[in-house]
Structures are given as structure tokens and as C-alpha cells.
């Protein structure tokens, strides 16, 4: 059974860089896009971006200037960095597996991590 185990700093100061990592336990690491999402009361669920094992990445344009998603295939990890955080970045951050359909498009986010609450103080 595939599980995603995520960790990272949950308390940041304004202008710092958010850094989270997600480990893929079980299953295949290839053939999927590894994804970060966040959820806040104000913005709801928001897709941040994704990367596959080859380093092909897609980002939400609203965050693209500040986001980096990287993959370490040897460790079966993927990571999120979000620079220059503000109070608007306070949210629950989730890592997730994006299942890809045979036609090559995203099918769904079928496995999720438990989430990391990120708080930003001034």
C-alpha cells in the first residue's frame, strides 16, 4: 500500500523560505506526477505544482515566481520550496500522488499525505 510521509518546518517568519519534503513509501515512483497542494479557509484547495521523476515540472502561475519542486529518485522523496512567504501563504500543505491516465493527462490525486500546517509570523 502506497503511503506519503511528509515533514518540514511548520512555523516561519515573513520573508523566509518554506521547505517541505514528502517520502513515497511503497509502490512505484515512476509513472506519476508528484504534487503539492495547499488548503486555507480563504482560498480553499489550491494546486501548487508537480514534478515527475524525470524532472518535468508544472507550476501554478500564481506561485511560479516563488516555487520550486524537486525530486530525488534515489531516496524516493520530493520537495517543495516556497520563497518569501507572507501571511497569505499560511495553510495546510499536502503532498499527493497524481495518477496519469493512459492518454497522458492527469487522472486524479489518488494518494495524499497527512498534511503539514504552516504558520507565518511577522
Partner 1 sequence: DIQMTQSPSSLSASVGDRVTFTCRASQTISTYLNWYQQKPGRAPNLLIYDASSLQSGVPSRFSGSRSGTYFTLTITGVQPEDFATYYCQQSFSTPYTFGQGTSLEI
Which residues make up the interface to partner 1 (CB under 8 A)? 44-47, 58, 60-62, 94, 96, 99, 101, 105-110, 112-115
What's the min distance (Å) between Cβ of 121 and partner 1? 23
What's the min distance (Å) between Cβ of 47 and partner 1? 4
What are the angstrom distances between the C-alpha of 5 and each of 2, 12, 26, 96, 103?
10, 21, 11, 10, 29
What are the angstrom distances between the C-alpha of 4 and each of 10, 26, 34, 112?
17, 9, 10, 6
Nearest to 9 by CA among 97, 64, 105, 89: 89
Looking at the Cβ atoms of 14 and 108, the one nearer to partner 1 is 108
Looking at the Cβ atoms of 72 and 110, the one nearer to partner 1 is 110
Enumerate residues 6+ apart whose C-beta is below 8 A from 103: none
What's the min distance (Å) between Cβ of 32 and partner 1? 14
What's the min distance (Å) between Cβ of 78 and partner 1? 16
Amino acid at each position: 500500500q502506497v503511503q506519503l510521509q511528509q515533514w518540514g518546518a511548520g512555523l516561519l517568519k515573513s520573508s523566509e523560505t518554506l521547505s517541505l519534503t514528502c517520502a513515497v513509501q511503497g509502490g512505484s515512483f515512476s509513472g506519476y506526477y508528484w504534487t503539492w497542494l495547499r488548503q486555507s479557509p480563504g482560498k480553499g484547495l489550491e494546486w501548487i505544482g508537480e514534478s515527475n521523476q524525470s524532472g518535468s515540472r508544472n507550476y501554478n502561475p500564481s506561485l511560479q515566481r516563488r516555487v520550486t519542486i524537486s525530486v530525488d529518485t534515489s531516496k524516493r522523496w520530493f520537495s517543495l520550496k516556497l520563497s518569501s512567504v507572507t501571511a497569505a501563504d499560511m495553510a495546510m500543505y499536502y503532498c499527493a500522488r497524481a495518477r496519469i491516465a493512459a492518454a497522458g493527462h492527469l487522472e486524479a490525486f489518488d494518494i495524499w499525505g497527512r498534511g503539514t500546517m504552516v504558520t507565518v509570523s511577522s
